[in-house]
Amino acid sequence: MKLPICTFDAKSGILCPKCEAKLKSGQLTQADVDISIKMMKIAPQISELDKVSIVRAFEIDDSIALALTAGDLALFRSDYALFKKLEQALEKKTWLVQAEGSDRKVLEDVFFPVRIVNVNQVWLPDGSKMTKIVISGRKTERFPIDIEKAQKVLKAVKGIELLVGFERQ
């Protein structure tokens, strides 16, 4: 398993000088360190994690977002039971995104399995931009994704300000 910190550091829970310097310089966050240590502890329970590469980790409120390489994300998408085992082991709502993906790809990852019909960028008068997505269907009480949490995840992972609309009201 590849982690944001050294494997030895994740096993021991103590950072080496190299990883400590990365943490102080801002290349790593405390969430990267904490989640790497936690992932190393749960790896013996979930053997498939040996093949996974975690690029970044984010803690957002009571959730965890993991930025994975493209192939590793496909592993979890194809095996829902594996994803649920990971989520139960981490003991928090877990969001998986592709680390080097475009904004649209990250949006699709966060809203998986819901289909996004349209993505638009809106430039605001103050110079900032907002991303507006349109989701197929309509919002019901059984909608599988908490939109507010998804907005927080996207803000933390990619810096995307998100506005969500539905195809049918």
**Domain-wise residue ranges, the chain:** 1-99, 101-169
Q: Which of 37, 100, 45 is nearest to 68 (CA)?
A: 100
Task: List Cα–Cα distances, 152 to 64, 75, 122, 149, in angstroms.
Answer: 11, 25, 18, 5
Task: List Cα–Cα distances, 80 to 60, 85, 113, in angstroms.
Answer: 22, 9, 11
- Looking at the domain 101-169, which fold is it? GMP Synthetase; Chain A, domain 3 (3.30.300)
pLDDT for residue 136 is more than 80 = yes
Residue-level pLDDT at 145: 87
- Looking at the domain 1-99, which fold is it? GMP Synthetase; Chain A, domain 3 (3.30.300)
Mean pLDDT (the chain) is 89
- Helix axes of 30-42 and 80-90: crossing angle, nearest 10 degrees: 110
pTM, to two decimals: 0.86
% of the chain beyond a pLDDT of 90: 38
pLDDT, mean of residues 105-113:
89
- Under DSSP, is residue 165 helix (H, G, I), strand (E, B) or coil? strand
| 104 in Cβ contact with 133 (< 8 Å) | no
Angle ∠(117,146,70) on CA atoms, nearest 5: 60
Q: Which of 19, 18, 17 is nearest to 29 (CA)?
A: 19
Tokens of 164: 């969500």
pLDDT for residue 49 is more than 90 = no
Domains 1-99 and 101-169 share a fold: yes
Rg (CA), the chain: 17
Confidence label for 161 from pLDDT (cuts 50, 70 and 90): very high
pLDDT, mean of residues 111-118:
89
CA-to-CA distance for 95 and 67, rounded, in angstroms?
9
pLDDT, mean of residues 83-97:
90
